Amino acid sequence: MNLRSMNVNALKRPAVLITVAVVVVLAVIWWFVWMSPEGTKLNTVNSQNSQLQTQLTTLNIELQQAQKQAAKVQQYAGYLSMFAAAVPPIPEAPQLTTELADLANTTNVHLVSLSDDTTVVGTPLSTIPLSMDIEGPRQNCIAFLQGIYNPTLITRLITISAFNPAPVSAGSGGVDVLKPSSAAYTVTISGTAYFDPEIDPLAANATSSTTTTTAAG
């Protein structure tokens, strides 16, 4: 009996065949019970990871856009605040009167009268017709007019439609020709202030009161 026939006979033994069968069965079980499900899980995890990477990229882009918008909002916040004060949702005649009286004191003119007794609700902005009389030296009256357009002195938006100066009689002493700017003038000023009731619908029924005030000359 040669070695080859001995090996064939050994392979034909039941114990060997059973062992081989068990190994094959275990391999099949291992494949279907563990390897195949784990492979599916790995594919699922890879797919989810790809989706998360895509979402992360999208969120980073949105974050960058939001940061740019936030920077713009911060940059223009001051302008928005200024515009909100310049055109409020209600007439706010008392605050307007106070600012004009303070301007008269600052420019050393006498605020003889100030009227803001009506409001006109319109589009795109509602208006408050203004009429005022001031008295003082020519340069001071001009300074008052300039101050109306200075947002650090008058926060409200006001447009002037008429500025009519008239010299005040100097009496028997006449006008000092060496100091012509000291001559007193009475100036009648007509203008318009603005508000926007669209910001606050309840402001559409708001009214402004007539105000007459004087400032120290």
Tell whether pTM > 0.85: no
Collapsing DSSP states into helix, strand and coil, what is residue 29? helix
pLDDT of res. 118: 86
Report the candidate in 216, 214, 163 with the shortest Cα–Cα distance to residue 188: 163
Number of H helices, E strands in the chain: 5, 4
Residue 216 in this model has a pLDDT that exceeds 50? no
Is the preceding peptide bond at 137 cis, omega within 30 degrees of 0?
A: no
* Tens-place pLDDT, residues 2-59: 445 545 455 456 665 567 666 666 766 766 666 666 666 667 777 778 888 888 888 8
> Residue 160's beta-bridge partner residues?
191
pLDDT band at 98 (very low <50, low <70, confident <90, very high): very high
Residue 88 in this model has a pLDDT that exceeds 60? yes
Residues 115-139: what's their mean pLDDT? Answer: 91
* Tens-place pLDDT, residues 129-167: 999 999 999 999 999 999 999 989 999 999 999 999 999
- Ranges of each domain in the chain: 1-86, 93-205
Assigned CATH topology for domain 93-205: Alpha-Beta Plaits (3.30.70)
Half-sphere exposure of 38 (CA within 13 A, CB side): 6
Report the candidate in 55, 56, 54, 52 with the shortest Cα–Cα distance to residue 44: 52
Q: How far is CA 21 from the centre of its chain?
A: 78
Tell me the CA end-to-end span of the chain in Å, nearest whole number.
141
Q: Which residue has the tokens 């008429």?
A: 162
Cα distances (Å, whole numbers) of residue 106 to 38, 102, 144, 159 = 84, 6, 8, 20
